[in-house]
Structure 1
């Protein structure tokens, strides 16, 4: 083994100088606990990816994902179901990384076939997994939302976890975020693409909406028709920006026995505005759209990478109006808030994660808990010393599963029988 260069401080020091790329690596390594990635595959892939070479980054994950799909196809043809499922799942996550990496450097004609490869790998994983699966078409505003209902082959307890994705995560990432842990504990799991998420955005051009109760209510209606679902043991989980959509939904839909916000979010726009210089914030608050757009454009012109990131984050908000300006976009994001009145309408026990070094919404987990009725919300801290810092504890998902499912089990336990 070559020991000429070693680092024992990669956890605090990071894998890349670029925060986005560093976080992507942490997420992938976190998937390893649930079979969503393999450590060696991740580390050897990033070893060949230089900083600031975006196409090189995307191509590396694309090549790895395609290689694993080919291997999985071979395992499947030979009847090796477990091996096929394993490779398909990892491939789905790597292909998703390749797809994300193309944003801003390739048009949809190049990107969308990669998205299709990602989703095909995900579907093949479901077909080979050690669980039962039903594809869902959830009625929604004259159309449908795509979804999946996964249940343990044996030992289904009737408890069901409905999962809301964040702003940009893939459906295969939700396997590691919640589905794997839920199935292992006898829960059924419902996953779906909502407005602005994955296929709804990329294939249908449907963007986010702040009134997520208009989404979650029909989802809940449909979930309650599924076989094996106990209406008294229904739970809701949301990751990343769904830390806003969960409490927003709970303020209107009181059919959930327990819910988890990972983490808590009361003001989505804070993750946008905290990076703006004061003069831009002043222009925004003063409603001076023309000056705001002009000065922001000048600043972003100096950093193409930041411009790409900005446009990527804006895309789900602009789906309904591609001509929306930057001022329009930030103003729209400002509607995504959990006011004290909304929080006061929540009656569902709520677990809220709160990691050290939260990058996007620091302090908002405590704010959400404080706005809920006394005793309704429980904040669970995750620390650097536990290897559980940063947004959604990316490298501590086993620990996260243990804490949130132990709490859920207690909340969903049948009441004790009388004497």
Structure 2
């Protein structure tokens, strides 16, 4: 491939990030920017937003943001790793740790900072920090969780040829049957993130929650060496089986709902098509076709190579975007690196081919329960997809649009507004 073509691809890839850059422009952004890099801004904002659920302090993350170099993955990891270890030292201070409850949220913050440090580490699969950071975050989260009034229970739920990693959170100790929400993430975030984003608020409203991870998601990708699978009912159905059998005395089966976050908007919808036991589904946001979303971000030159089946040339051109001297945006570089890791392939062409299976085409008529579908003003990953889901579902769908300061992908940094809307809809729909 000519050098000029690769250069044009890099420039067009940067242009493909304009929808994110709009939200990270100092004049057009609805909020104060945490980084001049739109992807770093979004990642820091997500971690900061967990403060309302006890998962972060505010000033330390803002201080860390000052030290992160724009577009520098290594600096991002180093700065957040340093913050995580400084916070861990505080949690271990014997004067402060006289009671586990006194340092509970400190441990939760430690876990959050290690997760943030891990965000841009997938460029080299052999890098030991991919495991080290995750082991640290799991250990810290478990310490925080153990000090809760009602600790969560870590579970390994068997499926056909893998194990679903899950955590069960009872709303109360009285074993009364209560509404129950099953919560799953998508492309990159962890179930531990969802404790601070969703579980804290759900429990306060009397909901039990089961969070889970399947193949391709953070813990299962590491512990079982498995990439994503499209038939997500293989993950959710065993989780529902567990809830209805092992927690039968705590679950109101008429108020059993499934929530999918980010790419989880596809995963949850796919599972719901094969799970009539669910009474409601929430997609934040809706994703009709993962493949179409990712393909839409390809510049014309790369798209032409892909659709012509020129796998070697496509791989060469795409991997050139990961070069340190590439002009490709941080978001594009991260998306490729993480996608290769999460789908467990070294070939960008193979990665994109795998995503062709991730579509709701032909199965939306099997989704019988009410579905809440969210879209956002600054949606940067699945632009246009929520409306496609709404159109396919027809009167089964309730559409909600988040704008302004709540308009980032999955309402990052505006989780109070997000949960108000979600649980308002659940109350209206299920009672």
1:406 matched residue in structure 2 = 424
Secondary structure of the equivalent of 2:169?
Answer: strand
- Is the 1:89–1:172 contact (alpha carbons within 8 Å) kept by the matching residues of 2? no
Residues 365 and 76 of structure 1: is their aligned pair in 2 closer, same or farther, counting only changes over 3 Å? farther
Residue of structure 1 in register with 2:153 after alignment: 134
Asked if structure 1 preserves the Cα contact closer than 8 Å seen for 2:190 and 2:213, the reply is no
Distance of 1:161 and 1:256 partners within structure 2: 10
| Structure 2 residue aligned with 1:145 | 164
Residue 408 of structure 2 is matched in structure 1 by 390
Q: Is the 8 A contact 1:75 1:84 kept in 2?
A: no
Q: 1:76 to 1:250 in 2, by over 3 A?
A: farther
* Residue 364 of structure 1, CA deviation: 1.3
CA contact under 8 A between 2:33 and 2:41: conserved in structure 1?
yes
Aligned pair partner of 2:105 in 69, 86, 90: 86
Q: Where do 5+ consecutive residues of structure 2 fail to align?
A: 1-25
Q: Give the structure 2 partner of residue 310 of structure 1.
A: 336
Given candidates 186, 192, 216, the residue that maps to 1:196 is: 216
Distance 2:427 2:97 in 1: 39
Shift in Å at residue 294 of structure 1? 3.6
The superposition leaves residues 180-213 of structure 1 with CA deviations (integer Å, 9 ceiling, x where unpaired) of 1111111111012211111110222111001111
Distance, in Å, in 1 between the alignment partners of 2:320 and 2:130 is 28
Q: Cα deviations across residues 46-86 of structure 1 (Å, max 9, x unaligned)?
A: 12223244333222211222222232344798543433221
The aligned runs of 1:12-23 (5 Å cut-off) are 12=31, 14-23=33-42
The answer for the alignment partner of 1:97 in structure 2 is 116
1:40-119 alignment to 2 at 5 Å? 40-74=59-93, 78-104=97-123, 107-119=126-138
The residue aligned with 1:283 is: 305
Partner-residue secondary structure (3-state), 2:128: helix
SS in 2 for 1:172: helix
- Give the equivalent residue in structure 1 for 2:240: 220
C-alpha separation between the residues in 1 aligned to 2:314 and 2:100? 56
Equivalent residue for 2:191? 171
Map residues 226-305 of structure 1 onto 2, 5 A cutoff. 226-227=246-247, 228-301=250-323, 303=326
Q: Relative to structure 1, is the Cα distance of residues 53 and 261 closer, same or farther in structure 2, using a 3 angstrom cutoff? A: same
Displacement of 1:142: 4.5
1:417 alignment partner in structure 2? none
- The RMSD of aligned alpha carbons is 2.3
Alpha carbons 2:293, 2:383 under 8 Å: kept: no
TM-score by length of 2: 0.86
Q: Determine helix, strand or coil for the equivalent of 2:277.
A: coil
SS in 1 for 2:251: coil
After the TM superposition, which residues 316-331 of structure 1 pair with which residues of structure 2 at under 5 Å, given as runs?
316-317=342-343, 319=344, 322=345, 324-331=346-353
Secondary structure in 2 matching 1:149: strand
Contiguous gaps of at least 5 residues in structure 1: 1-6, 414-419
Q: Distance in 2 between matches of 1:298 and 1:254?
A: 45
Counterpart for residue 31 of structure 1 = 50
Distance in 2 between the 1:131 and 1:21 partners?
34
Q: 1:142 to 1:401 in 2, by over 3 A?
A: same
Q: Runs ≥4 in structure 1, deviation > 6 angstroms?
A: 7-10
Deviations 1:269-317 (A, max 9, x none): 2332222221321222232323323443445545286555412222121
Q: Of 166, 176, 180, which aligns to 1:160?
A: 180
Distance in 2, matches of 1:360 and 1:147, equals: 26
Q: Are the equivalent residues in 1 in contact too, given 2:181–2:210 (CA < 8 A)?
A: yes
* C-alpha distance in structure 1 between counterparts of 2:418 and 2:95, whole Å: 32
Identify the match of residue 391 of structure 2 among 370, 381, 393: 370
Instruction: Give the structure-1-normalised TM-score.
Output: 0.88
Q: 1:217-276 CA deviation, whole Å, 9 max, x = no partner? A: 111111112331222221101100000011101111111111110100011123322222
- Per-residue CA deviation, residues 330-375 of structure 1 (Å, 9 max, x unaligned), is 1111211111x21111001111111112111112111101101x32
Q: Is the 8 A contact 2:167 2:211 kept in 1?
A: yes
Task: Determine the C-alpha separation between the residues in 2 that align with 1:106 and 1:362.
Answer: 29
Q: Distance in 2 between matches of 1:175 and 1:76?
A: 27
- Give SS of 1:296's match: helix
Output the CA distance in 2 between the equivalents of 1:174 and 1:203: 20
- What is the total number of aligned residue pairs between the two structures? 399
What is the Cα deviation at residue 18 of structure 1?
A: 2.2
